Amino acid sequence: VEQFPYDLLPMIEGNKDLKEESLSPVGYFTMYRFNFKYPPFNNKKIRQAAMYAIGQEDVMKALVGNPKYWKTCASLWGCGTPMESDIGKEVVVPANIEKAKALLKEAGYDNTPILVMHATDVGTLSAQPVVMAQALRKAGFNVNLAAMDWQSVATRRASKAAPAEGGWNIHNTNWYATDVMDPVRSAPAAANGDNAWFGWPDMPQVEELRTKFALTSDPAEQKKIADELQRIGIDEGLYVPLGQMSVPTVYSTKLSGLVHAPVFAFWNVKKAP
């Protein structure tokens, strides 16, 4: 079982015929994304209010539970990767409801409803929107938590329609941490408007820095650029880290040779009689 449910792990404890281990050295990066095209998240202060409202520990406790399998992570490039950064951790790691309320008031939030898509059929995604919606409501947001299957989320997040007309305001997803390990690899780091990944931020400064990153081969310069993009990305709410988790794989002890790699691989496996 590639992604074994965390809450079922006690069922296999002591079973000599099964082995459990996390095969990825870095694990999965979980995040959420604002829709920049429509109110209220076309307003930077309101995006920041949402980011202050949502605490990573609350999300990860609900999603994973056992702290053996998760950690907080502020880095847009994942943790345990060369470009890892904790710049802006005070915004995205702890919950600060009072700060969120103050920012909403300062921004003049007018109770515009926000539609948070909730994928109910994916175990590694279903908990995040529920915890987020509760935190956002505490801060003063008018939240519509829209339950649907993942395929509906994947289809709807591509819609550029207004939220009330089939669009959305927030959606969640996960990546292998290696998929977001630098500003070029990370799809949600693109900020070229309508050509960007779902959410469509338009930030020329981000694009200029991503180009500079791609054109330099100096690791020190790359790290400097990645840190500046981290600062801008957290300040603007380009995309928002929710934490990092290792996902346990469970397999028969008759199997050997499973590859320890950032992504799941199916070669090199042998089975004993």
Range of the domain at 6: 1-24+247-273
Rounded distance, CA 34 to CA 118, Å? 14
Q: Say yes or no: 171 and 121 in one domain.
A: yes
Q: Say yes or no: 17 and 94 in one domain.
A: no
Q: What number is the average pLDDT over the span 37-60?
A: 98
What does the pLDDT read at residue 114? 97
Rounded distance, CA 59 to CA 101, Å? 20
Specify if 150 maps to a domain.
Answer: yes
Q: Say yes or no: 30 and 159 in one domain.
A: yes
**What CATH number does residue 59 fall under?**
3.10.105.10
pLDDT per residue as tens digits for the range 62-100:
999 999 999 999 999 999 999 999 999 999 999 999 999
What does the pLDDT read at residue 238? 98
Specify if 224 maps to a domain.
Answer: no
β pairing state of 70-71 and 240-245: antiparallel
Residue 195, number of CB atoms within 10 A of its CB: 9
pLDDT per residue as tens digits for the range 230-272:
999 999 999 999 999 998 999 999 999 999 988 888 899 999 9
Number of domains the chain is built from: 2
Q: Say yes or no: 152 and 111 in one domain.
A: yes
The structure's pTM equals 0.93
Q: What number is the average pLDDT over the span 11-21?
A: 94
Using the structure block, give the residue that is written with the tokens 């990767």.
Answer: 81
Q: What is the DSSP secondary structure assignment for residue 242, as one 8-state letter?
A: E
What does the pLDDT read at residue 262? 85
Whether residue 227 has pLDDT greater than 90: yes
The residues, any chain, with a CB within 8 Å of residue 192's CB and separated by 6 or more, are 202, 207
Q: Say yes or no: 273 and 150 in one domain.
A: no
